[in-house]
Structure 1
């Protein structure tokens, strides 16, 4: 292998690279890996690049209606474990990109508990089409606009030719950028890591710093579980709520806490953060672009504005406390990152709601719900397939005032969370985003906007109340009171649940079949295999 004998006693560092030619999300990672490799060598370490599964929410979702997406997160965790722990490497630096890689990498850090850090690898740029800015979010919504007859297919195709102008993850505060920010908020990424432009000069600088820092972490024996404390998770939750991050960050933070065996109830922390106001308005939450958040100070700037709400004593991968890190962060641009005393909106960006339809909770990206809609009541219209719901949108079955229930699409029901995000995007594109509500246990995108209630727990396939909603039931959504309920008596609900028989899935042998046997409830982060955490038992 060409390794000189004098290197044998140096720290052996894994560069965890999810490079793939299937998706633009990963197109630049090989170049980043080369730069990190040089930095590790210069710092006195020996780098070993390893490859993992590379799930892309826009590419991997093409098959099986997106069922492979969530399972690939946990496939990645195990992939890293096998290669890094099996080879007894001393530390690892993980190149973060699309939606499932960052949470999977955080989970791997927490599980292996060897010195590690996350290197966020950045967002893509959009372009111009028809005299206006377009990016992947606009393309996403335009599918519904075409279905509604308000745009031609030719116009949509023209948008696709201009919407992506470089490598990296989706523009906007979707799951990928949210989770890269969460890595920094948890203290597992260097300050000023996220958001960051893929292929830009600042990413190159961060790669050099990260390569040197991982060798230092190994020499100091600073490990992820020294950083991933209950206080660190509380900090991350506060940042997620203030930014209006993706609904999916809730499940991923829960999963990371479980892998860290950390005594923190992440769902309860989101409920406690209900008094945190929105300090940013990045799309789909408002008019600002991810480049604006980046230029305005990024996650570090948000944390600086939240200093009074954060536990500043926590350790980070810098080797210093958050307080020391924030002392070096300049004042952010208040055009894009407001102070806590003068927020953009005096309400949280993410909330957990409960009721007889979601006794274990459901997640709402309040920042992406039309401000005029904080209470919604409508008749349930039930679908168990996203394509059928989209067809209902086309033929007029889906009407203003409806509450669309998309179910049997959760981690176990899919198996693997089935895509519900395309229907929500189509709904917004058709102009019904503020007159039709969606309640689902399926896979949503951080780009989704509208009256969307996601991650309903327990999911339908587990016998949750969502399984027994019937067409015509009245459903109430009250985002101010944090209520999701349907109009049935306790006795009627109990009778329906007693009569419920889970559907029998005819699964061929393979990864999805194995996943269904192992996956835990979404309230436990949909991790694989039953776990116990100190002090967080239900």
Structure 2
């Protein structure tokens, strides 16, 4: 009864490779925690995987599941008045959810990155999960048969862990280290490797120190550490989902930091130091082997707040001193970056008054502007069918709308349509504008995602008609429809074509979710920090 009581947050499932090894970590971690004088209790949550959870209702369960994890952690950990928690983070939504819960509960917490999967691309030149996802969407356009796809998928993934690329999962693991919430040098990491097991042990020791000194997440997650994380995300060309997840983490930690503005303003100032798939040719294994996130933090030191606290027990300055220098190939030195053009771009304009996101590769030359007539769809299935029937033409701006946070509800996945366009040969001949969300691996053509305000809350994207001209200029950071104020006023209000009703989670989500500017948080904490629900709310500069 005298020992501090801590939770092992195990977001585990055998439904996807991402989580299938977490149950094996728990007994080892329990022993480490007991050796440190703590009394551990395993606490389970749901375990959503984007590749699996995106099948039902057009992927609308993917983002709400993040907040379900947060709320379930609150109910158990706060309900039992536990003294700390150590979180086994794996797939896309678990790492941000764990950090959001840490910020909300403000009890000593350590995030453990549980690693990425073995894959054929790294081992014998085959394929990885990114290639499987791409080929699956190509199949909707008649390119490749199901037997070939099955054979590819069975060979691509050769062990447990998250997608082996710089998708959302690895991006958010790195973000945890940049924020100071994961032990230094622990990200990214191969699942079940000696390095992962060492991280499990050192994380248990770190939690014991945090409990002893009562160092809590709100001492670690500060405006300065959030800015550090934004700079690191920009420097590695992270997943676009890192924007809304970092915003949500900041809000749950009681901060009023505008993460969207940080990405927009810091983008031109932060050197891009690596080009890991899908941003470039390097594999995540190579990135890990030359030092990973710790090296990026060392190289970015001139721009970072080095006095930020970390769960290691010191400051970021201490961690930076221990990191090796950049190898000059996989990770470029600060003074000689791979690019000075941001891979993540926040764009604004009359079509995205509150902002939208564009992701570009690091080393590949790609068009930086696009103008064309709108071709409007209201579901990814409608768009894919139209594409197969030859209705989408080169030069079009494909608009997929009504699938945002409120309109979805839950923010539908637009990635399948983006990849189908690529499979049809139109990937670099059209642009895409959507209020839906995109996979962290998406990097095809000019795709403007997460347009805000969305169609369902009065955004101009909901008033567009087929043929309206749309201009995208990435150098200026703008996305606009060529409509006058009088034309806009004369348009009828947006009406959903196929409103999704579930009499369950998604309907609740529609009513209580806050806008992207507040991290799309499904709880009252954002309202307490200056946000309200997304219904009709406008958050501009």
TM-score above 0.5:
yes
Structure 2 unaligned spans of 5+:
533-538
How much does 1:281 deviate?
A: 0.6
Question: Structure 2 matches for 1:412-491, cutoff 5 A?
Answer: 412-450=406-444, 451-491=446-486
Is 1:331 the counterpart of 2:325? The answer is yes
Partner residue of 2:536? Answer: none
Partner residue of 1:96? Answer: 89
Aligned partner of 1:76 among 48, 59, 69:
69
Which one is further off, 151-160 or 87-96? 151-160
Cα distance in 2 for residues equivalent to 1:216 and 1:253: 25
How much does 1:257 deviate?
A: 0.8
Cα distance in 2 for residues equivalent to 1:409 and 1:373: 27
Is 1:39 the counterpart of 2:40? The answer is no
How much does 1:406 deviate?
A: 0.8
Partner residue of 1:305? Answer: 299
Is 1:210 the counterpart of 2:196? The answer is no
Deviation track 1:445-487 (CA, whole Å, cap 9, x = no partner) reads 0110121111111111111111111111111111111010111
Cα distance in 2 for residues equivalent to 1:128 and 1:310: 34
Distance 1:422 1:535, change over 3 A: closer
Partner residue of 2:132? Answer: 139
Q: Give the alignment's TM-score, normalised by structure 2.
A: 0.94
Cα distance in 2 for residues equivalent to 1:83 and 1:385: 37
Cα distance in 2 for residues equivalent to 1:157 and 1:234: 42
Which one is further off, 502-511 or 193-202? 502-511
Structure 1 unaligned spans of 5+:
1-7
How much does 1:410 deviate?
A: 0.9
Aligned partner of 2:271 among 271, 277, 281:
277
Distance 1:520 1:255, change over 3 A: same
How much does 1:37 deviate?
A: 0.8
How much does 1:145 deviate?
A: 3.2
Cα distance in 1 for residues equivalent to 2:333 and 2:123: 36
**SS of residue in 2 equivalent to 1:102:** helix
Cα distance in 2 for residues equivalent to 1:502 and 1:381: 16
Distance 1:316 1:13, change over 3 A: same
Aligned partner of 2:101 among 86, 108, 127:
108
Partner residue of 1:5? Answer: none
**SS of residue in 1 equivalent to 2:348:** strand
Is 1:383 the counterpart of 2:383? The answer is no
- In the alignment, is the contact (CA less than 8 A) between 1:255 and 1:526 conserved in 2? yes
Which one is further off, 526-535 or 36-45? 526-535
Cα distance in 2 for residues equivalent to 1:372 and 1:23: 34
Partner residue of 1:3? Answer: none
Partner residue of 1:233? Answer: 226
Partner residue of 2:20? Answer: 27
**SS of residue in 2 equivalent to 1:367:** coil
Distance 1:430 1:83, change over 3 A: same
Is 1:260 the counterpart of 2:253? The answer is yes
Q: How many residues align?
A: 530
How much does 1:173 deviate?
A: 0.7
**SS of residue in 2 equivalent to 1:361:** strand
How much does 1:334 deviate?
A: 1.9
**SS of residue in 2 equivalent to 1:134:** coil
Aligned partner of 2:345 among 327, 346, 351:
351
- In the alignment, is the contact (CA less than 8 A) between 1:475 and 1:487 conserved in 2? yes
How much does 1:443 deviate?
A: 2.1
Is 1:494 the counterpart of 2:489? The answer is yes
Distance 1:193 1:72, change over 3 A: same
Q: Give the alignment's TM-score, normalised by structure 1.
A: 0.95
Distance 1:435 1:155, change over 3 A: same
How much does 1:128 deviate?
A: 5.4
Deviation track 1:180-225 (CA, whole Å, cap 9, x = no partner) reads 1111111111111211111111100000111121111100100000
Aligned partner of 1:296 among 290, 300, 308:
290
How much does 1:131 deviate?
A: 7.3
C-alpha RMSD over aligned residues: 1.9
- In the alignment, is the contact (CA less than 8 A) between 2:418 and 2:432 conserved in 1? yes
